Amino acid sequence: MRIDILTIFPEILEGPLEASLLGKAIKDGLLDVEVTDIRDFSADRHRSVDDAPYGGGAGMVMQCEPLFGAVESLRGKNSLERVILLSPRGRRLDQAIVRELAQAPDMALICGRYEGVDERVRTALCTDEISIGDYVLSGGELPALVLVEAVSRMLPGVVGKWESVETDSFYAVGDAEGCGILGPPQYTRPAEFRGLPVPDVLMSGNHAAIRRWRRKESLRITRSNRPDLLAACTSVEDQRLLAEIEREEAERERENTP
C-alpha cells in the first residue's frame, strides 16, 4: 500500500514514521509512506499557502492552488481514488473505516491547518473527510499519523507473530457476526506486586475458563466505559455474561448500601 501525506509541516511526521512497527513496515517495504510539502506548490516567493477568508472572520484559510498542485503532482504515483481530508467535519474514524481503507492500494491524506481549507478543495478534490474525534487540534498531521498507524496494523506482515490484531479492541466492528468491544485486563509477571495479585483463573491453565473470564471482563469494561458498543453483542453467551455482570453489580450495590 502507498500512502501520500500532504502537509506544511513535514518535520512533525518524520519521527513517528521511522519508529516502532510503523517504521519497520516502511523499512521492510510492506508500506510506502511519502510526505509532500504543500509549500513547494505555493505561487509566491514567500511560500505562502493561506489567505484571509472572503466575507471576513478570524483566522486564515488554506488556498486552493497549493493544495491542488500538491495533489496533482502525485499523478502516476498514486491513483488518487481516495483523497482524504483530515478535518473535524469528517466522519469519525472507527475500526470499520480502518478496515475499509486497508483494502485500498493507495490513498492521499491532506493535513488541514488554520481555520480550514478552501471549500473548493473539499468539493472538487477530496473524496472523503475523516475526523479522529470531537475535539480541536492545530492541524491534520497527528490525525494522519493515527490513520496511517491504524491502517498499517491491518496489512499482512506488519504485526508479528507475538501480537494479533484479532484480539485488539474494536477489531470485530463491522463484521456480520462480530461484536467489537474493549479489550480485557492484561497481566504479566510477577504473580503478585505490592499486595496486588494476578487473578487465579489466568494462572489456572484452564483455557476455556480463561476465555470466558476475558470475555466477561471485556463486556464489563465496555458496559462501564462504552455502553454504545454493546448493541452489537447479541450472542446468547454475551447476553448471559452481561446478565451475570448486572446481578453482580446489583449485589455489590446492595452490600454497600447502609
- pLDDT confidence of residue 232: 87
Same domain? For 106 and 43 the reply is yes
Same domain? For 13 and 122 the reply is yes
| Domain contains 159 | no
Same domain? For 131 and 215 the reply is no
Q: Which of 94, 118, 152 is the last residue of a domain?
A: 152
DSSP notation for 232-245: G--SHHHHHHHHHH
Catalytic residue from among 32, 47, 53, 88: 88
Range of 249's domain? 169-256
- pLDDT confidence of residue 165: 55
> How many helical (H) and strand (E) elements, i.e. helices and strands, does the chain have?
8, 9
Distances (CA, A) of 17 to 141, 144, 149, 173: 12, 11, 9, 27
Helix extents (H) in the chain = 11-14, 20-27, 64-72, 95-102, 119-124, 141-152, 207-225, 236-256
| Domain contains 185 | yes
Same domain? For 8 and 83 the reply is yes
Distances (CA, A) of 37 to 4, 9, 19, 110, 139: 11, 7, 21, 11, 14
Asked if the model's pLDDT at residue 172 lies above 70, the reply is no
Average pLDDT along the chain: 92
Catalytic residue from among 82, 99, 153, 215: 153
- pLDDT confidence of residue 258: 81
Sort 44 into a burial class: Cβ within 10 Å, 0-12 / 13-18 / 19+.
Answer: exposed
Catalytic residue from among 100, 115, 128, 129: 115
**pTM: predicted TM-score of the whole model, two decimal places:** 0.86
Same domain? For 92 and 134 the reply is yes
Same domain? For 148 and 237 the reply is no
What's 182's domain CATH number?
Answer: 1.10.1270.20
Same domain? For 225 and 148 the reply is no
Within 10 angstroms of residue 73's Cβ, the number of other Cβ atoms is 15
Q: Is 115 a catalytic residue?
A: yes
Q: What is the domain count for the chain?
A: 2
What's 108's domain CATH number?
Answer: 3.40.1280.10
Q: Which of 84, 119, 152 is the last residue of a domain?
A: 152
Q: Is 75 a catalytic residue?
A: no
Question: For residue 146, how far is the Cα from the chain centroid?
Answer: 5
- pLDDT confidence of residue 180: 82
Same domain? For 40 and 102 the reply is yes
Phi, psi of 25, rounded to the nearest 5 degrees: -60, -40
Same domain? For 218 and 141 the reply is no
For 51, the grid coordinates are: 489567505
Q: Which of 103, 118, 152 is the last residue of a domain?
A: 152
Same domain? For 120 and 199 the reply is no
What is d(CA 166, CA 36) in angstroms, rounded to the nearest whole number?
33
Q: What is the pLDDT of residues 82-118, one digit of tens each?
A: 999 999 999 999 999 999 999 999 999 999 999 999 9
Catalytic residue from among 128, 168, 214, 226: 168
| Domain contains 158 | no
| Domain contains 139 | yes
Same domain? For 225 and 125 the reply is no
Q: What is the pLDDT of residues 215-235, one digit of tens each?
A: 999 999 999 999 999 998 989
Asked if the model's pLDDT at residue 174 lies above 50, the reply is no
Helix or strand holding residue 80 (H, E): none
Q: Which of 249, 181, 233, 237 is nearest to 212 (CA)?
A: 237
Q: Is 153 a catalytic residue?
A: yes
Same domain? For 79 and 109 the reply is yes
Cα end-to-end distance, the chain, whole Å: 61
Phi, psi of 160, rounded to the nearest 5 degrees: -80, -175
For range 195-204, the mean pLDDT: 95
CB 135 within 8 A of CB 89: no
| Between 76 and 165, residue with greater pLDDT | 76
| Domain contains 163 | no
| Domain contains 157 | no
| Domain contains 161 | no
| Domain contains 160 | no
Long-range contacts formed by 42-45: CB under 8 A, 24+ apart: 42/66
Within 10 angstroms of residue 255's Cβ, the number of other Cβ atoms is 7
